[in-house]
A and B are shown apart, each in its own frame.
Chain A
Amino acid sequence: MDETTSSVWEEMKNKGYSRRDFLKFCAWMGAFIGVESTGISSVVRAMETKKRPAVIWLHLQECTCCSESFIRTSHPIVADIILDNISLDYTETLQAAAGHQAEAALAKSMKDNWGEYILLVEGSVPTGEDGVYCCIGGKTAEMRLKEAAEGAKAVIAWGNCASNGCVQAANPNPTTATPIHKIINGKPLIKVPGCPPIGEVMAGVIVHIMAFGTIPQLDGQGRPLAFYSRRVHDTCYRRPNYDAGLFVEEFDDENARKGYCLYKVGCRGPVTYNACGVTKWNEGTSFPIQSGHGCIGCSEADFWDHGPFYQHLASFPGFGIETTADKIGLGLGVATGVGIAAHAVITNISKKDEINEHIETSSVPDGDREGE
């Protein structure tokens, strides 16, 4: 790595931030990425001494929503850090150079930082028909990914496309869109799913690597525990309504106007692991459920093919009691509300066990977890 580059602290100092601002930032970042308060000093040390790592951002078969989410990162100081404290040597969305000049910048960064750079990948890889469905600079997405991955220290799969294939991999997957972990191997890989992932989550993952020089602790699917260890349902502020059996029956009904639980009009919160209920979106402004629409489960593998969105979940994987109670509720017709209220009470009692159980199931492959 280039030794003339400055540390995060030096960068901040140059920008006029005080030492106090810097320590506050470290504490905030530490809290954000889940470090105990006694560990903050190590964040400070890391930020003071680490040089800017080279970062290469590939755009494959995608819609650029991940890049857009990334630039929404809320606290301005974080946007500064990301722009000025990593060296973002290649990103088709923002870089000044195009064509040959862009390709040269990519080649130079790879050469200068071989074995050291972090590779960020947005998009899936269409492997159908030898890859002609996505070509950049005359090469297929697969060729570009393999080349860039070879010299990478670690790889981050941004969003659901790179992590799971996302919408283009939904049935019938016309281009054989493939997540990147099936293309590259032998590299540490972090999946940051979501369509897109929350901006602060993306920044948090990068800052974790930058601050500690290690990748964050991951679950069995490769997702950082710091952001994907809780179901949206368990962190949802409307959860008490669920537990109390208070449901929106249709959009804009009286119950919707009271902010009741959206489970019956379609909400994937119970089967979706993401930080939406905690970190929320756009500087904590809101998240889908808060704005009256159910969670569509955009951070889960194959969520596009898991049935219509506006239909309540047929079953909660691992929630035998609830499933049974729900079916009873439906079967009773007018007594549905009573049925759900009854199962909600049971839920409340057994919640502790369920949460424990679901932390464990977060490391089970999705197909199994979905219980279909």
Chain B
Amino acid sequence: MANRIVIDPVTRIEGHLRVELEVKDGKVVDAYSSGTMVRGIELIVKDRDPRDVWAFVERVCGVCTTVHALASVRSVEDALGWQIPQNAELIRNLMFCSQMMQDHVVHFYHLHALDWVDVVSALSADPVATSNLAQSISSWPKSSPGYFRDLQKRLKGFVDSGQLGIFANGYWGHKAYKLPAEANLMGVAHYLEALEWQKEIVKIHAIFGGKNPHPNYLVGGVACAININETNALNAERLAQVKQLLDDARTFIEQVYIPDLMAIASFYKDWGAIGGGLENYLAYGDLPTNGYSDVSSFKFPRGIVMGRNLNEVVPVDGKDSEQIKEFISRSYYEYSDGNDAGRHPWEGETKLAYSGPKPPYDFLNVDQKYSWLKTPRWKGNPMEVGPLSRMLVGFASGKAEYKEVVTEALGKLNVPVGALFSTLGRTAARGLESRLVANWALEFYDMLISNIKNGDTRTVNQEFRNPETWPAEAKGVGMTEAPRGALAHWIVIKDRKTANYQLVVPSTWNASPRDPNGQRSAYESSLIGTPIADPENPLEVLRTIHSFDPCLACAVHIYDEKGRYIHQIDTF
């Protein structure tokens, strides 16, 4: 007889996620992932000025802030055939890179590390041994015995206060924790250092976009004007600050994040064989270096790895109505042509139809509909998206820099390529791409400086700023890579207004319920077989779920083809 476990709320994520599991003989035998919150942003942007929509949809998520704004401005530009100046592309790339570095570091230390690092164990560490450990893996200067001794004292004072705050009721002492006390103490030190660093890198958003979270974007370019001889514009001082922040980011990633990742991973190599799940990996790609329409110029290539075959990259087309479709057979919605139909985002429709249990409830009706997330599929296939997918598509594309970082990491850990397809692989891929992004950001910075030096200071293409120049109807797709994976927004513009708007976001791919054929999506699939030492404290489940970096507010959205709100509640 299987035992049902519920984890709700799943914490250290964005949004509201619930996981129900069947556990038998110490292993997960079935899993159900449910998004439990809906806001209806797509419905809200209907009939609004397409140039304004980025601001609304940016608020879909404050953790991966900016990525929805980027997808949105691109969707409008794509619909109208609107090219942006190269400086605008570079500035958007710099904002993208800053976001990804910040998000990945925060994920690793603040959302994921406590699955691997036992804070309480750090109290028994030897500060001298901790210093030796830190200095053996990195040249990061904050590594003296005194530094770790002071930190330990502070930590002890905190624990002795009896008020454990965010660390209360953690899984401390759980037998799945494997790190020596010294590695735990080092982990806690870097948890706090990362908390300070993360607020620095986002200053790049403030410089270009005025604030973070939720910096400003502009359809047709970027709003920050360049004038190297003006106080009130992007000048040498502002640019120098960007450079400093990028240099510091690369240092932090190379000297703190990556050494920690490798050190922690070396104690958890068994997780290179756990949590693999799906075998298909999708990436839309991003970081154009020759305009968004030239996909071949992307630093992150676009494509699909099917069946873990790293010898081939299958192309993906967001505009082909036969490729990407969303299903609702297990989601709280209805389609006019039946429960099992799939719809391309441009032709989507939604009727909210909650049919779950009446709150308060103990269990979901997992054999029926059980989530506010729809279920996207590519040619009927479930796909994993995220850092691992990007690294695999890059690797399979034969790009040297991908092969280099992946091979180096596998060598250091002494694990086979197959270890990539796992919980550990997902977590490692996030770090490895941070290394690439840190370097690319500096390239983009140099390109920006070079352009300005050559006299090109344009940041906006005025061609279509005036809606009078627009066609009566236009359709576009804005594709990007959020930290959590492939993200696209589809827009239909009619009479200069937003007639239709649809998002298919990373966590919808990963966290969605089953499709009409009963195929699991990535979360559910990856949890099958996960060992559970103690069903009351399912730390292992959190490891795999967190390896995806869940972002649920993004994942849930509603949509209505005719711009009318229809709701129907069947159950009560």
Q: Mark A125-162, 1 if CB is under 8 A from B, else 0.
A: 01011111111111110010000000000000000000
Q: Mark A232-244, 1 if CB is under 8 A from B, else 0.
A: 0000001000000
- The count of chain A contact residues (Cβ–Cβ below 8 Å) is 105
Q: Mark B206-223, 1 if CB is under 8 A from A, else 0.
A: 111111111110101111
Contact status B157-A74, CB under 8 Å: no
**Known: A65-B65, A96-B114, A293-B210. Contact between A251 and B223, CB under 8 A?**
yes
Interface of B is mostly: loop
Does residue B533 face the partner (Cβ distance < 8 Å to A)?
A: no
Does residue A367 face the partner (Cβ distance < 8 Å to B)?
A: no
Does residue B453 face the partner (Cβ distance < 8 Å to A)?
A: no
Does residue A63 face the partner (Cβ distance < 8 Å to B)?
A: yes
Contact status A286-B207, CB under 8 Å: yes
How many whole Å from B349's CB to the nearest CB in chain A? 15
A308 to B38, CA, bound (A): 25
How many whole Å from A319's CB to the nearest CB in chain B? 24
Does residue B145 face the partner (Cβ distance < 8 Å to A)?
A: no
List the one stretch of A2-10, A207-215, A219-227, A331-339 in contact with chain B: A2-10
The residue of chain B having its C-beta at the shortest distance from the C-beta of A53 within the complex is B163
Does residue A359 face the partner (Cβ distance < 8 Å to B)?
A: no
A198 to B52, CA, bound (A): 22
**Other-chain residue from B166, B218, B233, B553 in contact with A96 (beta carbon distance below 8 A):** B166
Contact status A133-B37, CB under 8 Å: yes
A71 to B8, CA, bound (A): 24
List the one stretch of B357-365, B443-451, B509-517 in contact with chain A: B357-365
Q: Mark B98-126, 1 if CB is under 8 A from A, else 0.
A: 00000000000010001000010000000
Q: Which residues of A contact B161 (CB under 8 A)?
A: 2, 4-6, 52, 87
Does residue A32 face the partner (Cβ distance < 8 Å to B)?
A: no
**Known: A98-B7, A257-B227. Contact between A238 and B553, CB under 8 A?**
no
Does residue A320 face the partner (Cβ distance < 8 Å to B)?
A: no
The residue of chain A having its C-beta at the shortest distance from the C-beta of B60 within the complex is A63
Q: Which residues of A contact B207 (CB under 8 A)?
A: 285-286, 291
Q: Which residues of B contact A105 (CB under 8 A)?
A: 168-169
List the one stretch of B9-17, B396-404, B429-437 in contact with chain A: B9-17
Pick the most buried of B38, B165, B196: most chain A CB atoms within 10 A of its CB: B165
Q: Which residues of B contact A59 (CB under 8 A)?
A: 9, 16
Contact status A174-B43, CB under 8 Å: yes
**Other-chain residue from B160, B166, B208 in contact with A91 (beta carbon distance below 8 A):** B166
**Known: A95-B168, A304-B56, A308-B51. Contact between A64 and B63, CB under 8 A?**
yes
The residue of chain B having its C-beta at the shortest distance from the C-beta of A174 within the complex is B40
How many whole Å from A169's CB to the nearest CB in chain B? 9
Does residue B131 face the partner (Cβ distance < 8 Å to A)?
A: no
**Other-chain residue from B59, B153, B356 in contact with A14 (beta carbon distance below 8 A):** B153
Does residue B454 face the partner (Cβ distance < 8 Å to A)?
A: no
**Known: A63-B553, A285-B207, A289-B210. Contact between A71 and B165, CB under 8 A?**
no
Q: Which residues of A contact B62 (CB under 8 A)?
A: 62-69, 196
List the one stretch of A76-84, A183-191, A341-349 in contact with chain B: A76-84
Contact status A140-B359, CB under 8 Å: yes
Contact status A83-B51, CB under 8 Å: no
**Known: A166-B59, A287-B210, A308-B52. Contact between A16 and B12, CB under 8 A?**
no
A64 to B62, CA, bound (A): 5
**Other-chain residue from B38, B199, B460 in contact with A73 (beta carbon distance below 8 A):** B199
A42 to B534, CA, bound (A): 50
Contact status B360-A143, CB under 8 Å: yes
Which residues 33-54 of B have a CB within 8 angstroms of A?
A: 36-41, 43-44, 48-49, 51-52
Binding site for B on A (CB under 8 A): 2, 4-6, 11, 14-16, 52, 54, 59, 61-69, 71-74, 76, 79, 83-84, 86-89, 91-102, 104-105, 108-109, 126, 128-140, 143, 166-168, 170-175, 177, 195-196, 198-199, 238, 250-252, 256-260, 276, 281-283, 285-293, 296, 298, 304, 308-310
Q: List 16 A-B contacts (CB under 8 A).
A: A14-B154, A61-B37, A68-B65, A92-B11, A129-B567, A132-B354, A132-B356, A134-B36, A252-B221, A256-B225, A257-B233, A281-B211, A281-B212, A285-B203, A293-B218, A293-B224
Q: Which 5 A-B pairs have the closest CB atoms?
A: A259-B232, A65-B62, A96-B170, A174-B40, A288-B210
